Amino acid sequence: MPIAPYDKYCQMLDNAYKNKFAYPAINVTSEITANAALKAFADLNSDGIIQVSTGGGKFASGLAVGDMVEGAISIAEHVHRVAKHYKINVALHTDHCPPKNVDDFMIPLIEESERRVANGELPLFQSHMLDASGLPIEENMDLSVPVFERMAKIGQIIEVEAGVVGGEEDGAAGSEDTPDDKLYTTPEDMVYVYKRLGEVKNGRYMFAATFGNVHGAYKPGVVKLDPSILRKGQEAIKKEFGNDAYFWLVFHGGSGSEKEKIEETLNYGVIKMNVDTDTQYAFSRAVADHMFKNYDDVMKIDGEVGDKKKGYDPRVWLKKGEQAMAERVKEAIVDLHAEGKSLG
């Protein structure tokens, strides 16, 4: 079916919040990796989110172009076309746009969506993340709110972050030497975010509160995940704004997370978990396996010609990468209890 319009996207996120499950948000860098995510969603009858970072967009546009906006548009247009062949709902999202790239990445994509909406079409992307978590909370919201107001007018959801996710994600996140106290969002910050974003008329948003998250593979002893921070934040906004107040929360640094910690976050309002590192590995591992097992077919050695059909035709080993990535996405779907929960 077509990409989820605004009302359907909101229904998806409300459904996850109410029923304590989350959607896997899969970072992609190409048509092939996007296809892997779509296949996994469809195979397990799960709705899902496909997302593109600045680095992913730059890669997708090719070595000669290297334009993050053109690449992101290219992936999104591909997903818009092929999603119509599936029976699940899919939303498109951009991940971790830092303040330095708001004007040359996020705004051009919003402008493209404004153009599409003016022509009676859906926005190109259904949501965007503005990651100003490295700024003081007041500056973070001062930057995010005006962009959110613009997005809300065309039916887009914003994602913001307060606190810093450790590790690195296309150069847009924190670093491995981030002080521990910056890896945990305070209840006071969560109350402030709720107040500021609540000023946007008819706007819906997602909030990535941090509770010790680290991008990439976790190193033992680097940081301790504390999902209770999410519970305390939800309790704080209810105390301040009433029992109807709640966040749609996002779990960053999801790859490598302990399953019991994932389970716990679902009870506190996490409705989206980003997955990237594990799917990258799954794709690359399958390709490496093919190369090692079919070395003589891939390589032209000692005057031989190899074997195009079984060896070096990129379609042969890229299919294996796509299938392996799809299987890893399925694992995430099961871990997040999204299997069989498509709204159709």
The CATH number linked to 126 is 3.20.20.70
> Looking up tokens 């992307």, which residue turns up?
125
Mean pLDDT of 157-185: 66
For 121-133, the pLDDT digits (tens) are 999 999 999 999 9
What is the identity of the amino acid at 14?
D
Residue ranges making up the domain that contains 218: 6-335
Query: Could you read off the pLDDT of 253-274 as tens digits, one per residue?
Result: 766 677 888 899 999 999 999 9
- Known catalytic membership, residue 131: no
The band of 77, judged by pLDDT with boundaries at 50, 70 and 90, is very high
What pLDDT score does 60 carry? 98
Instruction: Say if 59 falls within a structural domain.
Output: yes
The predicted pLDDT at position 335 comes to 95
**Total domains in the fold of the chain:** 1
Which one of 7, 14, 43, 95 is the catalytic residue?
Answer: 95
Residue 344 lies in a domain: no
What confidence score (pLDDT) does residue 224 get? 72
- Residue 164 has a pLDDT of 64
Q: Determine, yes or no, domain membership for 35.
A: yes
Is residue 174 scored above 50 in pLDDT?
Answer: no
Whether the pLDDT of residue 67 is over 90: the answer is yes
Q: Angle between the 68-83 and 107-118 helix axes, to the nearest 10 degrees?
A: 40
Query: Exposed, middle or buried, 335 (CB in 10 Å: 0-12/13-18/19+)?
Result: buried
Task: Quote the pLDDT of residue 214.
Answer: 66
Q: How high is the pLDDT of residue 163?
A: 77
Top-confidence residue, 179 or 278: 278
Residue 219: pLDDT above 70? no
In DSSP terms, 289 is beta-bridged to none
Residue 245 above 90 pLDDT? yes
pLDDT the model gives residue 256: 63
In which band, very low, low, confident or very high, does the pLDDT at 220 lie, cut at 50, 70 and 90? very low
Tell me, yes or no, whether 340 lies in a domain. no
Q: What rounded mean pLDDT belongs to the chain?
A: 91
> Are 59 and 308 spatial neighbours (Cβ–Cβ below 8 Å)?
no
pLDDT at 9 over 50: yes
Annotate 211-256 with DSSP letters as a single string.
BS-BSSSPPTTS----THHHHHHHHHHHHHH-TT---EEEE-S-TT
Over residues 184-211, the mean pLDDT reads 95
Give mean pLDDT, residues 199-228.
78
On whether residue 214 sits in a domain, the answer given is: yes
Residue 175 is predicted with a pLDDT of 44
Taking 70 as the threshold, does the pLDDT of residue 341 lie above it?
A: yes
Q: How far is CA 28 from CA 89, 157, 335, in A?
A: 17, 20, 20
Distance CA 336, CA 22 (A): 5
